[in-house]
Amino acid sequence: MCGIVGYVGKEEAAPFLLDGLSKLEYRGYDSAGIATIDGTKLVVEKCVGRLAALKEKIDGHVPKGTIGIGHTRWATHGRPADNNAHPHTDGAGRFAVVHNGIIENYLPLKEGLLKKGHEFKSETDSEVVVHLLADVYDGDFEAAVHRVLTMIEGSYSLVFLSKDHPDRLICAKKDNPLVIGLGNGENFIASDIPAIISRTRRTYILNDGEIAVVHRDGVDVCNFAGERIDKKVFEVNWNAEAAEKGGYEHFMLKEIHEQPKAVRDTMSQRIAKDGKSVVFDELKWDKDFLDSIDKISIVACGTAYHAGLVGKTYIEKLVRIPVEIDVASEFRYKDPIIDDKTLTVVVSQSGETSDTLAALKEAKRRGAKTVAITNVVGSSIAREADRVIYTWAGPEIAVASTKAYTTQLVAFFMLALYMAEIEGTQPSERIAELIAALQKLPDDVSRTFEDVEPIKTFATKYGFNEDAFFIGRSLDYNVAMEGSLKLKEISYIHAEAYAAGELKHGTLALIVKGVPVIALATQKSVYEKTLGNIKEVKARDAVVIGIAAADDTELAKYVDHVIKVPATDELLIPILAVIPLQLLAYYAAVTRGCDVDKPRNLAKSVTVE
């Protein structure tokens, strides 16, 4: 995944390009570059490393010109290096292109171009695109771009710049996100809204198979067949400050502390005024619809997959419909058994996760009914699914997902309650009880931040251990998996999560003196069993940090440290129990001097397989 920006207008392009790229570094930061047209000359500046390296390189001689494109890269084809950084140019320096995605047939195309005498400077698949453009160009910029798009296969968002046509940018989208910001005497292109929100709230969100010719005074959109499309303006309803750190040292810490609001916003308008039922106007399901479903399939990746594991338990316990869950990258290749009696639920914070989008399309191809849980209005997954549940978490910039996860759990819980009401699988008293607990949740989340000093102390004390283990049973095991992922992805500590009852089946061999074990014990239905497993690891001299409800008086007898979260229904407590794990991972990463918001080798939204 990479970040793309473009500008055409009356001002100097480079300042916007650099600022826009700074808002998109969460999409990749292996290298960065910009290209502008200065008079009749195409000027390209790029280098390996983060955007700061590019800014240092061009300090004192920032490229001039009122039109330009920029790119921040997450490497797929070709290692991070100056020559592999975007923008890429043709041999004559007539065209430049930036690309997010993968050109699957680049190799045969490259071989054909090499035979024609084209010389390549990079190892990337993307460079093929600009050489193809130069090869087919006959003076008509738009026609040449259309022809190139018929030749390439794969996924892409592309922006083309031509020194022969210094009044326009051309961009195209297939499977990867692209947004056009509409200004006054200027227009913008970006992979994501944070790059343009400080300049405009009026946008066009491109769909797959659309091409836009962007001038300073207008935007013309057509499909790949050349047929004109009248786009509707999408008004962004959050402000630029929402994408800034707001006084926090890192975006991740800011987003952890935004969870009370994110949870409240996700619940907003979805609980009836009498507090006794859940309302999903965006679904409008009835008993006939649910009776037509014989199973539910949840598909997601990474943190969203962990949310799906909790969602599976919510639905099965409350609705009594069997639920399967798959990692999206495996879903298409296992020949899934789904049909028109299956409801497929796909989960993605960005709504652009490539594997999840592909799984959604496969489910629809096989006749499944579909619903998406996502955070981004107008995203590819939101547009593709039959129905959408938005989480309203606000922009999430840090690579490690936090508030997206908790709001996904809230969305799943409310969905399960909604379905249970329709199907009559839970007494009305139980539903009212759970809704009352749900309404208290934002305040409960706030209370988890009242005393984080012990968590900082644990992170400082154990942050330089190279191994850590997370254990739990039932929903605690699902939360343990998310806690383990958070720790490993931002602190680089080797962390594993295990079902506590499986310790004696091999895992216990890894427990040695002094190794940190984070033990979740919030599920009353398996509490005594969990205590037994904790005793097993303590007998091997592990250091145990327990996570328990505030009313727990037993756990402290068996562990070295206890972190407590507000007591609530055991179905809802995973939403609270994960927060100390997020903070533990954060402070461990800080202790180790890691780049919290931009962990190595990772990007925010994985838009390539």
**Residue 110 backbone class (left: φ over 0; alpha: ψ -120 to 50; beta: rest):** alpha
Residue 534 neighbours by CB distance under 10 Å = 22
Residue 460 neighbours by CB distance under 10 Å = 13
Q: Of the candidates 444, 421, 419, which has an alpha carbon nearest to the alpha carbon of residue 276?
A: 421
**Cβ–Cβ < 8 Å for 341, 294:** yes
Torsion angle of the four alpha carbons 539, 540, 543, 548, in this order, in degrees rounded to the nearest 10: -50
Q: Which two tokens stand for residue 379?
A: 């995203």
**Residue 394 backbone class (left: φ over 0; alpha: ψ -120 to 50; beta: rest):** left
Give the contacts of 241 (CB within 8 A, at least 6 positions apart): none
> Cα–Cα distance between 147 and 225 in angstroms, integer?
10
> Cα–Cα distance between 480 and 199 in angstroms, integer?
41
Angle between helices 51-58 and 13-22 (to 10 degrees): 160
Q: What is the DSSP string of 380-423?
A: HHHHHSSEEEE-------SSS-SHHHHHHHHHHHHHHHHHHHHH
- Which sequence positions are flagged as catalytic? 2, 604
Q: Which two tokens stand for residue 426?
A: 């839970």
Angle between helices 302-319 and 475-491 (to 10 degrees): 170
Residue 116 neighbours by CB distance under 10 Å = 8
Cα four-point dihedral sign 286, 292, 294, 296: negative
**Cβ–Cβ < 8 Å for 385, 282:** no
Can you give the C-alpha Rg of the chain in angstroms?
25
Look at the chain and count its residues: 609
**Cβ–Cβ < 8 Å for 478, 522:** no
Angle between helices 127-136 and 106-115 (to 10 degrees): 50
Q: Of the candidates 324, 316, 376, 318, which has an alpha carbon nearest to the alpha carbon of residue 348?
A: 376
Query: How many CA within 13 A on the CB side of residue 127?
Result: 24
Q: Of the candidates 19, 54, 385, 45, which has an alpha carbon nearest to the alpha carbon of residue 181?
A: 19
377-300-4 Cα angle (round to 5): 50
**Cβ–Cβ < 8 Å for 186, 216:** yes
